Amino acid sequence: MKIKKLSIVGLPMDLGQTRRGVDMGPSAIRYAGVVERLENLNLEIDDLGDIVVGRPKLIENPNSNLKNLELVAKMNTELAQKVDEIVKGGSFPLVLGGDHSIAIGTLAGISKHYKNLGVIWYDAHGDLNTEATSPSGNIHGMPLAVSLGLGHPDLTDILDYTPKVKPENVVIIGARSLDEGERELIKEKGIRVFTMHEIDRLGMTRVMEEAIDYLKGRTDGVHLSLDLDGLDPNDAPGVGTPVIGGISYRESHLAMEMLAESNMITSAEFVEVNPILDERNKTATVAVALMGSLFGEKLL
């Protein structure tokens, strides 16, 4: 798809995990100049601003291992409706997080417009936990499982359909921290994963060629869900769950450039930017630079 019009929406929500601050991600990304950067690429940019997030209940449901379930489900429903409208209006949705639990809403809003939506999950983690396997109860560790139809119905059934994504249409890139239940799920469902091992061994060029090739034949649209913790914490320190040994800034640019050349990306989100944990807005600046490459920026 040749992208002409792009609509930006932020979901400033930090309730899918326990480190405060990632709710300021959309502001930090705007401050790092996202609109100006993308306008320079001759794209028509419509910044719709942020969805307003309510206050969580002070007392949690003691019978549930899901933190802030009610409000996370509500906010994701609002995001899904917004993203659905954007797609209906013929615009490319670019969603700014917020912690990664917001992918639940993004995918709910997008996937109903496709028969076989592909997903590239660029992340140190699999985010494939359910309440049964989660070591933390943090919903940001669950959005990919939820989108596959696994998890609490308040999350899986947003916009009244499930699953949003088929396991064979998912590619995970950059994984280096997986919980036991996630490993089992990956094997059981045959999810395509390029761990750091494959990136080191084959190089990012080959990994992206294979990922693009794999999705090209089987999907009619591809969503990029980019968790900044997929990058190495040296390059992206402002994230709540950093894992050393990650994808470099340069490899990430290459990956974005190859996705731009493929013309296959139909929606995107950038999540987990936490300005409180960041160094002089470095991580938001990296996110904006990667968006530049994803949307076709070239040096010459």
Ligand X SMILES: NC(=[NH2+])NCCC[C@H](N)C(=O)O
Annotated binding site for Mn(2+): 100, 123, 125, 127, 227, 229
In the complex with ligand X, the residue whose CB is nearer, 14 or 229, is 229
Q: Interhelix angle for 69-88 vs 103-111, to 10°? A: 40
Tell me, yes or no, if 140 is annotated catalytic.
Answer: yes
Q: Which residues 234-253 are close enough to bind ligand X by CB under 6 A?
A: 241
Residue 68 site contact among Mn ion, ligand X, none (CB < 5 to 8 Å, cut-off depends on kind): none
Residue 269 site contact among ligand X, Mn ion, none (CB < 5 to 8 Å, cut-off depends on kind): none
Tell me, yes or no, if 127 is annotated catalytic.
Answer: yes
Tell me, yes or no, if 125 is annotated catalytic.
Answer: yes
Q: Interhelix angle for 282-294 vs 249-262, to 10°? A: 30
What whole-number distance in Å separates Cα of residue 146 and Cα of residue 163? 8
In the complex with ligand X, the residue whose CB is nearer, 232 or 257, is 232
Q: Are 158 and 72 in contact (CB under 8 A)?
A: no
Verify binding: residue 68, ligand X, rule CB under 6 A. no
Q: Exactly one of 99, 100, 223, 251 is catalytic; name it.
A: 100
Q: Pairing relation of β-strands 170-175 and 117-122? A: parallel
Verify binding: residue 140, ligand X, rule CB under 6 A. yes
Residue 214 in tokens: 């794999």
Tell me which H or E stretch contains 74. Answer: helix 69-88
Q: Exactly one of 198, 229, 257, 297 is catalytic; name it.
A: 229
Verify binding: residue 67, ligand X, rule CB under 6 A. no
Q: How many CA atoms lie within 13 A of 117 on its CB side?
A: 24
CB of 16 to ligand X, least distance (A): 7
CB of 195 to ligand X, least distance (A): 15
Q: Are 35 and 256 in contact (CB under 8 A)?
A: no
Residue 103, classed as helix, strand or coil, is helix
Verify binding: residue 100, ligand X, rule CB under 6 A. yes
Contact positions toward ligand X, by CB under 6 A?
A: 100, 125, 127, 129, 134-136, 138, 140-141, 179, 227, 229, 241, 272
